[in-house]
């Protein structure tokens, strides 16, 4: 094994991180797109829980807006569904 391979395995132990999608500021201002748990049919507002079992921490409205303000990106859930 090369030293580069060992170093890269140490920095990336195989755990996948959340994908952040870039959102153009114009699109954010003008389009009414679905981007957070509170807009999804899988979200139970009474329990503050996802019926699919996913964490609300990164995809909730407050977290999404905080991430967008800092990076211009959002963690759009791949299972997001609207009525």
pLDDT (tens digit per residue) in 16-39: 788 899 999 999 999 988 899 999
Are 77 and 54 in contact by the 8 Å Cβ rule? The answer is yes
Are 31 and 82 in contact by the 8 Å Cβ rule? The answer is no
Q: For residue 8, is pLDDT > 50?
A: no
Q: Mean pLDDT, to the nearest integer, of 57-77?
A: 94
What string of DSSP letters covers 21-62? Answer: EE--HHHHHH-----SGGGSTTEETTTTEETT---STTTSHH
CB neighbour list of residue 25: distance below 8 Å, 6 or more residues apart: 72
Split at pLDDT 50, 70, 90, the class of 83 is: low
Q: What is the pLDDT of residue 6?
A: 45
Q: What is the number of residues in the chain?
A: 83
Q: What is the pLDDT of residue 7?
A: 46
């Amino acid at each position: 094994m090369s030293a580069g391979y060992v170093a890269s395995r140490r920095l990336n132990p195989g755990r996948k991180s959340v994908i952040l999608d870039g959102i153009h500021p114009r699109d954010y201002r003008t389009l009414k797109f679905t981007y957070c748990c509170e807009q999804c049919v899988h979200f139970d507002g009474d329990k503050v829980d996802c019926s699919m079992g996913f964490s609300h921490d990164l995809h909730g409205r407050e977290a999404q807006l905080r991430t967008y303000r800092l990076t211009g990106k959002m963690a759009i859930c791949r299972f997001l569904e609207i009525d």
